[in-house]
Structure 1
C-alpha cells in the first residue's frame, strides 16, 4: 500500500544501522509502548485499543501535552506507520521502514516524519527549540544505543533528565 505525502507536507528523514537482526528491531519498535524508552520528549504511552495510543509529551518549558496516535499500517519486519489523530490537514505521520542489511545481524532503519502545515509547521517547531530533523536523528541514535547496549546515553533533543543527565 503506497502512502503518498500530502501536497505541501514537509518531510524529515533519518536512517540508522543497528547491530541486531531485523526481527529483533522490528519487534521492539512494533510494541509502541517501548517508544518512551528512546523518544526524547515522549514520557508515557498508554494503549487505548489495539491500534490507538495516548501519548504524553513534554514540550518547551515543561508543558505536558497528551496526544492520540493511531497505528495505520504494519508489515512484519518491514514497515510501521502511525499518525496523530485529529483533522486530516493537522496530522503528523511517521513511516518507519526496517530492512536486513547485507549482514543479516544488522538492520537498516529509515524513518520519515511528515509534519502538518508544511514548511510553516516545520519553522514553528524550529522556533520553539524542537528542530524536527535533529529530533528524528537523535531518536534513531537512541534506539540504536538501547538495542545494542541496553542503555541510552544520547541526550540531544530530549527533555532534561530523561536519559541520565541531571534534572
Structure 2
C-alpha cells in the first residue's frame, strides 16, 4: 500500500547514516518489537497478528497510551511503512527508506502526523515536536546498531535510556 506525499505541512523527515550493512539495519528495524530500543516514547511493542502490533507510548505528563500499529508495506532492504490504526484522518504514518552504501546504510524516515498541520502544531504545543523526535529516534537507532548503547536522551521518556527524572 502506498501513501501519497502529504502537502498539508504535517510530514517531517530526518536521515542518518548507520555504519552497518543494509540487511542488518533493515532486519533490526523490520522487527517492530525492537522499536522500544530506540524510539523515545515507545515503551513496549507486542505482535498481535501477522502485520499488527500493540504498542504503548508514554505521552505528556506520563500518560500511557496503547494503540495498534499496522505494517502496511515492507520491501527487503529497501522500505518499511507502518501506521496507527483508526479513522484515516487520525492515523500517524511512518515511511522508512534504506539506501545501502559500502558497509553502511542511509536511513531516511518520513512521519506524517494525524490531523495535518493542526496535529503537527498540537504535538509541538504539548512538547512533542515531531521533527525533533524523528531526528532523535534515528540518532538512537544509529547508536544501538553501532555500539549497542543508547546515550542520546533527547525527546525520550525520562529514565528510559539511563537518564534519571529530575529530583523534586
TM-score by length of 1: 0.96
Structure 2 matches for 1:6-155, cutoff 5 A?
Answer: 6=6, 8=8, 10-101=10-101, 104-155=102-153
In the TM superposition, residue 8 of structure 1 has moved relative to its aligned partner by 3.0
* Counterparts of 1:117 and 1:81, CA distance in 2: 19
In the TM superposition, residue 9 of structure 1 has moved relative to its aligned partner by 5.8
In the TM superposition, residue 2 of structure 1 has moved relative to its aligned partner by 4.3
The one-character-per-residue Cα deviations of 1:92-140 (angstroms, maximum 9, x if unpaired) are 1000000112xx2000000000111111001100000000000000000
Q: Are the aligned partners of 1:96 and 1:109 in contact in 2 as well (CA < 8 Å)?
A: yes
SS, match of residue 46 in structure 2? strand
* Counterparts of 1:65 and 1:76, CA distance in 2: 30
Q: Are the aligned partners of 1:17 and 1:109 in contact in 2 as well (CA < 8 Å)?
A: yes
The alignment yields a C-alpha RMSD, in angstroms, of 1.1
Matched residues, number? 165
SS, match of residue 49 in structure 1? coil
Runs of 4 or more, structure 1, over 2 Å off, are: 5-9
SS, match of residue 48 in structure 2? strand
* Counterparts of 1:61 and 1:3, CA distance in 2: 32
Consecutive unaligned residues of structure 1, counting only runs of 5 or more, are none
TM-score by length of 2: 0.95
Which one of the candidate residues 145, 163, 166 is aligned to 2:164?
166
